[in-house]
Amino acid sequence: MAKREQWASRTAFFLAATGSAIGLGNIWRFPYICFKYGGGAFLIPYLVALFSAGIPLMILEFSLGHKYQLSAPLALAKVHKNLEWLGWFALLVAFGIVAYYTVIMGWCFNYMFHSIKLSWGENTGGFFYEKFLALSKNVFTIGSIRPLIFAGLIATWIWIVLSVWKGAKTVGKVVYVTVTLPWLCLLIFVIRGLTLPGAIDGLSYYLTPNFAALKDPKVWLAAYSQVFFSLSIGFGVMIAYASFLPKKSDIVNNAFLVSLADAGTAFAGGLAVFSTLGYYAHTTGLSVPDVVKSGPSLAFITYPTIISLLPFACSFFGILFFLMLLTLGVDSAFSLVEAGTAGIIDKWKKKRIPINFAFGIAAVIAGLIFTTKAGLYWLDIVDYFMSNFGLVIVALLECIFLGYLYREKGIVALREHANSVSEIKVGKWWEICIKVVTPIALIILLVLTVIERIKGAYENYPRLAEFLGGWLILIAFFVVAIILNRVRSKGG
Ligand code: PFF
């Protein structure tokens, strides 16, 4: 059998896993969620979720990939042959995510160029929705493809395919730049933010704890879902990345380091964003809660406004901001690709480069819908379903299958494996987290989300759109995953 590809060094692995975890989620999602759910007090449920569920699952996924030296589907198949489908399901969800994640990166490319002349003008919202996206009236008025967004998407994919060209070998080199560069940019933004007038007001909104919020179960659930998405758990990525580690590599240590690096970056992201929002409120006379917006609007509407208001070097900071988003996003995106191609290569023993291309082309085709005039609506729906259902289902089933049904080859064998290579040993606490704490949190999360969806369609979209962009995709992924489970692998 051909020797499995490997990371060139421990640092290469650490940077690649960290690069996957740190992404757009750290810069706009974390600060906003933190503000919405209790400000400084949110850090408590966040840290509890990180240590009780995030890190234990990271250890589980690392051990699984490392022990069996295989990516998600075949590693799970080693535990039990009927589990392979779960790995494919995870990779299909990853494919669904990367299809729209790369369109957002395509927007960033465009905005980097718009930064040169600050072409968004005074009405940044109007520019984003009307000029740039040309957003249609409703979700079914698809209209045409936006050529510049499409061009941004293609540029993103060329970048990704080149970054994963020879798998771990190339990724291990690229991440030295794509992880450290955004950290450097972030540092500049934290310093820039903190030295602007009004910064303190922004920070006090971000960090003043509202302890009453801790009584609300929603706050705890928000913390758990933020931790899962942010750590890239439940997508098969960490399993594949750990499978490229040499036999003697520390698992537990790495899981802690990657997770803490991710959490630290999210916290710094909050400092940068809130100090700048404080400045924005200060200059416009608005209050801080008024200027806090969620989702894409923060990066593409609020931030451009702030960039235009900066006292000097506006274009420089504009370019730097979108470059930061691009480099933050690209290693998350290519980790999703790497997880998928590694799965295909393990199963069919195919050559890597044609698969990389095929994957890229398939994802561009799948992503076309998001480049149309109705693209933002579809992006919103698919994003919601992939991260709130896809991820949660995978993580929950991992806990149940590995923790209970196939525990001998699952949690028992994995604990033994992790302890045989790691400096820090995992004990009973780890089993309790995987078998009790995490599944309970995930089941509550899932049940509440399902109830909400039964009560009404997500964001009041037409039920048909919700079905096509959400449920149908999940069902199709499930069916395809089951079929792939039945196909025999080459040589196996
Ligand atoms: N963890 C990334 C973020 O916080 O933006 C997003 C992500 C990347 C999720 C890769 C899942 C994944 F496999």
The string of pLDDT tens digits covering residues 83-134 is 999 999 999 999 999 999 999 999 999 999 999 999 999 899 999 999 999 9
Residue 21: CB within 6 Å of ligand 1?
A: yes
In the predicted model, is pLDDT for residue 400 greater than 90? yes
Q: Is residue 492 part of a domain?
A: no
Q: Would you state the pLDDT for residue 106? A: 97
Q: What is the percent of the chain with per-residue pLDDT over 70, rounded to a whole number? A: 98
Q: Is residue 92 part of a domain?
A: yes
Tell which phi-psi region holds residue 167, choosing left (phi > 0), alpha (psi between -120 and 50) or beta.
left
Q: Would you state the pLDDT for residue 183? A: 95
Write down the residue that tokens 């561009």 correspond to: 364
Cβ atoms of 211 and 372 within 8 Å: the answer is no
Q: Enter the tokens of residue 157.
A: 């994919």
Q: Is residue 218 part of a domain?
A: yes
Q: 21 CA distance to ligand 1 centroid (A)?
A: 5
Averaged pLDDT, 130-154? 96
Residue 23: CB within 6 Å of ligand 1?
A: yes
Q: Enter the tokens of residue 226.
A: 């933020």
pLDDT band at residue 34 under the 50/70/90 scheme: confident
Q: Would you state the pLDDT for residue 412? A: 96
Lowest mean pLDDT among 25-34, 139-148, 196-205, 357-366: 25-34
CA 251 to chain CA centroid, Å, is 21
Higher pLDDT residue, 170 or 32? 170
Count Cβ atoms below 10 Å from residue 82 Cβ, excluding itself: 14
In the predicted model, is pLDDT for residue 254 greater than 90? yes
Q: Which domain holds residue 451?
A: 10-486
Q: Is residue 5 part of a domain?
A: no
Residue 225: CB within 6 Å of ligand 1?
A: no
Q: Would you state the pLDDT for residue 489? A: 77
Q: Is residue 376 part of a domain?
A: yes
165: phi then psi, degrees, rounded to nearest 5: -45, -55
pLDDT band at residue 435 under the 50/70/90 scheme: very high
pLDDT band at residue 492 under the 50/70/90 scheme: low
Rounded Cα gap, residues 472 and 476, in angstroms: 6
CA gyration radius, the chain? 22
pLDDT, tens only, 214-239: 898 888 888 988 998 899 999 999 99
Q: Is residue 429 part of a domain?
A: yes
Q: What is the dihedral of CA 76, 335, 438, 467, to 10 degrees?
A: -90
pLDDT winner (highest mean) among 29-33, 211-215, 431-435 = 431-435
In the predicted model, is pLDDT for residue 295 greater than 60? no
Mean pLDDT of the chain: 93
Rounded Cα gap, residues 296 and 118, in angstroms: 18
DSSP type of residue 372: B
Q: Is residue 283 part of a domain?
A: yes
22: phi then psi, degrees, rounded to nearest 5: -80, 120
Q: 327 CA distance to ligand 1 centroid (A)?
A: 13
Q: What is the dihedral of CA 299, 305, 310, 312, to 10 degrees?
A: 90
Atom of ligand 1 nearest to the CA of 391: 11
Q: What total of structural domains would you count in the chain?
A: 1
**Of 252, 238, 230, 199, which Cα lies nearest the Cα of 71?**
238
Averaged pLDDT, 138-152? 97
Provide the CATH number for the domain around residue 275: 1.20.1740.10
Q: 175 CA distance to ligand 1 centroid (A)?
A: 15
**Of 269, 272, 290, 270, which Cα lies nearest the Cα of 281?**
290
pLDDT band at residue 296 under the 50/70/90 scheme: low
Q: Give the dihedral sign, CA 305/30/323/359.
A: negative
Q: 103: which residues sit within 8 A by CB, 6+ positions away?
A: 149, 152, 153, 367, 370, 371, 375, 379
Q: 148 CA distance to ligand 1 centroid (A)?
A: 25
Rounded Cα gap, residues 310 and 315, in angstroms: 10
Q: Enter the tokens of residue 122.
A: 């005074």
Q: Is residue 491 part of a domain?
A: no
Q: Would you state the pLDDT for residue 468? A: 97
Q: Would you state the pLDDT for residue 307? A: 92
Rounded Cα gap, residues 405 and 402, in angstroms: 6
The answer, as to whether pTM is greater than 0.85, is yes
Helices 55-68 & 72-79 angle (0-180, nearest 10): 80
To test ligand 1's pocket by mutation, which of 97, 186, 259, 298 has the most ligand atoms within 8 angstroms of CB? 97
Q: 233 CA distance to ligand 1 centroid (A)?
A: 8
Give me the residues paired with residue 372 across strands.
145
Lowest mean pLDDT among 76-90, 218-232, 281-295, 404-418: 281-295
pLDDT band at residue 293 under the 50/70/90 scheme: low
